[in-house]
Amino acid sequence: MYIVTGGAGFIGSNLVKALNTKSSEPVVVVDDLTDGHKFSNLADLAIADYLDKDEFADLMESNSDYLQDVKAVFHQGACSATTEWDGRFMMENNYAYSRELLHICLEHKVPFVYASSAAVYGASRSFVEESANELPLNVYGYSKLLFDQYVRRVALGAESQVVGLRYFNVYGPREQHKGSMASVAFHFNEQLRKDGEVRLFEGSAGYGNGEQERDFVYVEDICAVNLWFLEHPEQSGIFNVGTGRAQPFNDVANAVIAWHKRGAIRYVPFPAGLKEAYQSYTEADLSALRGAGCDIEFRSVEAGVKAYMDALSAV
């Protein structure tokens, strides 16, 4: 049995789909369906059970027999809103809950693969998994960094596998519920369909219009990395997961326009309140991931956006 926390969310539901494809092993989804719109991410998936996130933590603590059948916990659940500034809420969801699950998995020697984030790097220009490069710009990034630091202190020498995956800018199917936090590829597609144009920020931090660069990574490639670690339980650590290649937002917009064969780009003023907490550049250093032996190939923006648009058109 596999357990996926945040299994009704964007990356979590794609991971459940990948696990369904990989084997007939039952998958248990853990989530908080206060936002009931997320049900649609589960409707076409095979799940053995659904548990509320609080119910799951209690069950893990009180019933050790339950864990005997668990082959791995993929902890994808978190508040991922980079614009959320309620620090107490963020730390309860992203740090304290993760710490609780970690200790339960360590105690019972259950492999624990969790979602970290490139937000831990903030304004850094170096994206190597080292403390000197970790300079988060928002409380979301800090909550992820604090848990990574905790893992480094208490878990990386453990008998069972513990893996933290620092996702860069993920896009792809099953993110429609995320609203403003959905990927730019999603928003560009919606804008073009409704208005015939896509809107990008004007230049900032020395970058030209739409030329801020991110490491955009397709969600299916993210899932493939998760499954690679499942197959390599001897590997533990904290690893970047991105393409290793920064591309400008203009590339994403042009890929959406190319798929639709119509549309134009319009640049809009950069919001003043966002500038101080905005990453204008990210690019995953994949040395640690490749050093661990992970040979998953990552799609370019052009290939990934085409796959995404194809998937959206098929719904």
CA distance 290 to 284: 12
What does each C-alpha distance from 41 to 173, 176, 276 come to in angstroms? 9, 9, 34
Residues 6 or more apart in contact with residue 96 via CB below 8 angstroms: none
SS3 of 104-167: the string is HHHHHCCCEEEEEEHHHHCCCCCCCCCHHHCCCCCHHHHHHHHHHHHHHHHCCCCCCCEEEEEE
Is residue 91 within 8 Å of 286, Cβ to Cβ? no
3-class SS string, 164-200: EEEECEEECCCCHHHHHHCCHHHHHHHHHHHHCEEEE
Q: Which amino acid is at 278?
A: Y
140 is known as an active-site residue: yes
Which listed residue (50, 178, 267, 306) is catalytic?
178
Are 232 and 179 in contact by the 8 Å Cβ rule? The answer is no
Q: Which residue in the list 140, 171, 218, 278 is annotated as catalytic? A: 140
Q: Is 178 a catalytic residue?
A: yes
| Nearest in space to 150 (alpha carbons), one of 87, 111, 98, 73 | 98
Distance CA 275, CA 169 (A): 18
Who contacts 39 (Cβ-Cβ below 8 Å, separation ≥6)?
Answer: 8, 33
Query: How far is the C-alpha of 28 from the C-alpha of 3, rounded, in Å?
Result: 5
The dihedral of CA 260, 265, 269, 275: what is its sign? Answer: positive
State the chain's maximal CA–CA distance in angstroms.
Answer: 58
Residues annotated as catalytic (active site), given as ranges: 140, 178
